Structure 1
Amino acid sequence: MILPPDTSRDVRPGWVRVDCHVHTVASGDAVTTIAQLAERVATHRIDVVCLTEHNQLAGTAERLSGEIGARVVPGEEIRTGSGELIGLFLTERVPYVLAAREVVRRIRAQGGIVCAPHPYDPQRSGVGAELVELCAAGLIDAVEVFNAKVADQEHNRAALRTALAYGLPGTVGSDAHDPDGIGAAYLEMPDFDGPDSFLTALREAVRHGEYRPHAPRYPRGPS
């Protein structure tokens, strides 16, 4: 179930509000500055931001958290030979256009987790038809089951069905590329202190989101 966003109220004690998929100007096809992200995160009372720049790591958790004013999980949205995958809790950049299995290996080698973003939306470069094969091989840790930029909700529902079929937790994300997109989708979930507890907490998460036709595709700069 996806509930409408409502950041006017507090989350329950011991829980946090998390956007699992956010971009800034560092992605090359987004316009949100760090200052704008900090302002929007404060306005929408987002506690944790998974900063998932395209094909690069924006910085350390400590530096980014200080700049944004919310806890940051460093991540990367990585173009693979099969489509895009997200690595979270990263400490090193993963190169793009490697085979998906090699990208998974590199994410996990640094203690990160692998998420499949917008897998079935034909307007975005998800892993699509290969998601089932990747899940069956144990290569996916979580599936993005709601992306606020996906116009056809059947594509989000299909991602949820695949996650359920393989017993995988689901993430949601605004996939914001401009300031207005921030707050379009988030999880309310138990607080966590690392990759393992994040995956455990995802299974209790309450999902909030709405389709928001924000952030038209800007020309992507050099990766």
Structure 2
Amino acid sequence: MKIDMHCHTKEGSLDGKVPIEEYIRLLRDQGFGGMLVTDHDSYGGYRQWKNHIKGRRYEDFHVFKGVEYDTLDAGHIIVIMPENIKLRLLELRGIPVQMLIPIVHNYGGVLGPAHPCGEKFMSFMNAKAYKRNPDILNEFDFMEVFNACEPVEVNEKARKVAEEYGLVGTGGSDAHKADCVGLAYTQIPDHITCESQLIDYIKSKPSMDCGGTIYRNTTKEKMGKAKTFMTHSFWVYNKIGGWSKAIKRSSK
């Protein structure tokens, strides 16, 4: 079964332009059997599917619950939790990665860096946590080795890192717009129909077939040099988020 393991929806991501039902239709039309919803620090898109679509339409299509979590010091991390686990914490951005990893594992989940060799601050290999302690890579369960919104050389570097550390490689479109949907895939067995089964499969360390086509219409390509400002803005965004949480915790 072909699935997209990096999907942003209008209902769950502030920068998402594609409603989840449209996302499903687009993927089904391209021969996909499922998707992992990975909205930014939110399960909004997944909830829209679960509360309004599941069991009513698209019963031949599997929607898996995930999140693209904005850490304080390690960029974007894709997290998949068992279907019976609800962690509100994963919708509150800004946890340091060395706190995030044991939380996810203790509750039976798996996690791995999204676009690990991409932009500074947003990508693990170019973030503070990796530079401080590269061995953190050994604590991840998988790594995104093909991202349709990253250049070829960036994906190739990610694939080499995953191979070096023995991490399962995944592929996802990272689509925020309709014309990017379906540009990346990961092949998984047809019998996988829920998050727990997907987690168990990843833990078995399979050699997963993944790949796709590079998207040439990303916002960062259009911005050119201005993308440097965008990446530094992300750093400030997460720093402020982390400080505000620390203040709230200390006042309780």
Same fold (TM over 0.5): yes
- Is it true that 1:98 corresponds to 2:110 in the alignment? no
In the superposition, the TM-score normalised over structure 2's length comes to: 0.71
Listed as ranges, the matches of 1:1-223 within 5 Å are: 16-25=1-10, 26-58=12-44, 59=46, 63=50, 66=54, 69=58, 70-82=61-73, 83-89=75-81, 91-93=86-88, 94=90, 95-122=92-119, 125-129=122-126, 130-131=129-130, 133=133, 135-136=135-136, 138-151=138-151, 153-191=152-190, 192=192, 193-200=197-204, 203-216=206-219
Q: What is the one-letter code of the residue matched to 1:143?
A: M
Query: How much has 1:38 moved relative to structure 2?
Result: 2.0
On the 8 A contact 1:24/1:53 being kept in 2, the answer is yes
Unaligned 5+ runs, structure 2: 221-229, 235-240, 242-252
Q: 1:186 to 1:100 in 2, by over 3 A?
A: same
1:8-56 Cα distance to aligned partner (Å, 9 max, x none): xxxxxxxx11111000012101100122112102211211211000011
Query: How much has 1:57 moved relative to structure 2?
Result: 1.8
Mapped to 2, the partners of 1:182 and 1:138 lie a distance apart of: 31
Mapped to 2, the partners of 1:44 and 1:124 lie a distance apart of: 33
Q: 1:45 to 1:92 in 2, by over 3 A?
A: farther
Q: What is the one-letter code of the residue matched to 1:92?
A: L
Mapped to 2, the partners of 1:124 and 1:22 lie a distance apart of: 20
Q: What is the one-letter code of the residue matched to 1:104?
A: I
CA RMSD of aligned residues (A): 2.9
Query: How much has 1:61 moved relative to structure 2?
Result: 10
Name whichever structure is richer in helix by fraction.
2
Mapped to 1, the partners of 2:43 and 2:26 lie a distance apart of: 21
On the 8 A contact 2:37/2:67 being kept in 1, the answer is yes
> Is the partner of 1:198 in helix, strand or coil?
helix
1:131-179 Cα distance to aligned partner (Å, 9 max, x none): 584555632110111100002x221111111111111110010001011
Query: How much has 1:215 moved relative to structure 2?
Result: 4.9
Q: 1:63 to 1:156 in 2, by over 3 A?
A: same
Q: 1:96 to 1:79 in 2, by over 3 A?
A: same
Q: What is the one-letter code of the residue matched to 2:8?
A: H
Q: 1:68 to 1:204 in 2, by over 3 A?
A: farther
- Determine which structure has more spread, i.e. the larger CA radius of gyration: 2
On the 8 A contact 2:111/2:140 being kept in 1, the answer is yes
Unaligned 5+ runs, structure 1: 1-15
On the 8 A contact 2:138/2:165 being kept in 1, the answer is no
Higher RCO structure (Cα 8 Å, ≥6 apart): 1
Number of equivalenced pairs: 204
On the 8 A contact 1:18/1:47 being kept in 2, the answer is yes
Percentage of matched positions with identical amino acids: 24
Q: What is the one-letter code of the residue matched to 1:106?
A: I
In the superposition, the TM-score normalised over structure 1's length comes to: 0.80
Mapped to 2, the partners of 1:131 and 1:71 lie a distance apart of: 34
Q: What is the one-letter code of the residue matched to 1:174?
A: S
Mapped to 2, the partners of 1:68 and 1:99 lie a distance apart of: 39
> Is the partner of 1:180 in helix, strand or coil?
helix
